[in-house]
Chains A and B, each alone.
Chain A
């Protein structure tokens, strides 16, 4: 972490503070032609342990920031929790109630949901925080835009629903209820069982991870595209082309709002699907 702090501070350490801030603004408003966003954004240079499995780069850093802020907010909220909620607590309770009522109880029913509410709440809030870094200045990239984090989360859901199914129905019962859904003539199982197997064991976790990562990657590219265009048109282009910059900046505003919406929506979809998969796994027949 010291190395990291040193890296962050290098800009300030270069000469006096005035020079550093001048450097910063020179850099901030510097132009060198139009740079469209690229997948390189998702593979930034390493800050620490480059080339090893422990490589620490911008996106990992953003994740750490998001996690610290998330834990901080909820830790403070929980520490100050009272029967009569203040503004902050009421807002947090709104989020917790949303996951409990709109996701868990809606999908699984109140009785079954109780056991999984903590898991689903953690999942939802974590995804929201890792997504929302997409629109936070200085962070400017979703923590979930690198597939690793979505994979870890999808695997968590995978283990949860397989575990729930096996614990409820036993290994045989779970396989039977998942792969051989009742109500079809037996020769169909020759087709249906492999499809269901791929569905349950591969497609569900894979689509969870891919949907989240792809949405956040696309959102980030779209945002950066509007910002890059604004930068070029407003600062570099001349004459009437500057007006195009106003359009692209307005588009940036709209897409930022849209990105916030997508960040929440993807967290909602991920969580509601996790709830649905668990519910399917523990149901006798479906």
Chain B
């Protein structure tokens, strides 16, 4: 042991061996003083700046993430809206198609009804016309046949059936007889 070390542990210096876990007293005392000074300087001046930068960075990252989340949410909302609109449009289109189909069916039905109606009307008119013509023909035939038959009969009988009223009565009677015989036959 050097003299200096002996001096350090001799009775005069016994107080420097307070506790073996502690450093020497001067080391502890003055390093604490220096440490406190440095710590104060750091905490007062250096660390706030550092922390500001770190906080700003955290904010920046957080801002970026929240912005991205916002954009994503917006995109999702827009997609949702478009999908809804599309769905609505499809429903509407289907509705319109359905409506058109019904209308078409209606039109066809109406057309058919009208055609049937028209046909019936035309047929009815024709029947009436035919009837009228027949009536006319019957009338004209009656007149014609009457004169022809009278002429023929007068020639055969050699007697002139000059009396018109009588003659007409005769013809009508004949024709009715003829008609009834035709009806019986048919």
The count of chain A contact residues (Cβ–Cβ below 8 Å) is 52
Chain A interface mostly: helix
**A227 CA / B29 CA spacing, docked (Å):** 8
Q: Are B65 and A137 in contact (CB under 8 A)?
A: no
Q: Are B15 and A227 in contact (CB under 8 A)?
A: no
Q: Taking A27-B15, A41-B24, A253-B37 as given, write out 20 further A-B residue pairs in contact, using a Cβ cutoff of 8 Å, ordered by the A residue number.
A: A7-B21, A8-B21, A28-B29, A29-B29, A33-B12, A35-B24, A38-B5, A38-B8, A57-B20, A84-B62, A85-B54, A140-B31, A224-B24, A224-B26, A226-B30, A227-B29, A227-B30, A227-B31, A230-B30, A252-B31
Please give the distance in Å from A23's CB to the nearest CB on chain B: 8
**A257 CA / B46 CA spacing, docked (Å):** 14
Q: Is A61 an interface residue (CB 8 A)?
A: yes
Q: Are A11 and B19 in contact (CB under 8 A)?
A: yes
Contact bitstring A248-286, B, C-beta under 8 A = 1, else 0: 010011001100000000000000000000000000000
Give the residue of A10, A32, A84, A91 whose beta carbon is less than 8 angstroms from that of B19.
A10
Contacts of A28 in B (CB 8 A): 25, 28-29
Contacts of B58 in A (CB 8 A): 84-87, 90
Counting contact residues on chain B (CB < 8 A from A), the size range is 35 or more
Q: Is B38 an interface residue (CB 8 A)?
A: yes
Q: Is A44 an interface residue (CB 8 A)?
A: yes
Q: Is A58 an interface residue (CB 8 A)?
A: yes
A-B residue pair count with CB separations less than 8 angstroms: 129
Contacts of A223 in B (CB 8 A): 27, 31
Q: Are A138 and B20 in contact (CB under 8 A)?
A: no
Tell which of B12, B15, B21, B55 has the most Cβ of chain A within 10 Å.
B21
Q: Is A120 an interface residue (CB 8 A)?
A: no
Contacts of A61 in B (CB 8 A): 21
Q: Is A166 an interface residue (CB 8 A)?
A: no
**A40 CA / B5 CA spacing, docked (Å):** 8
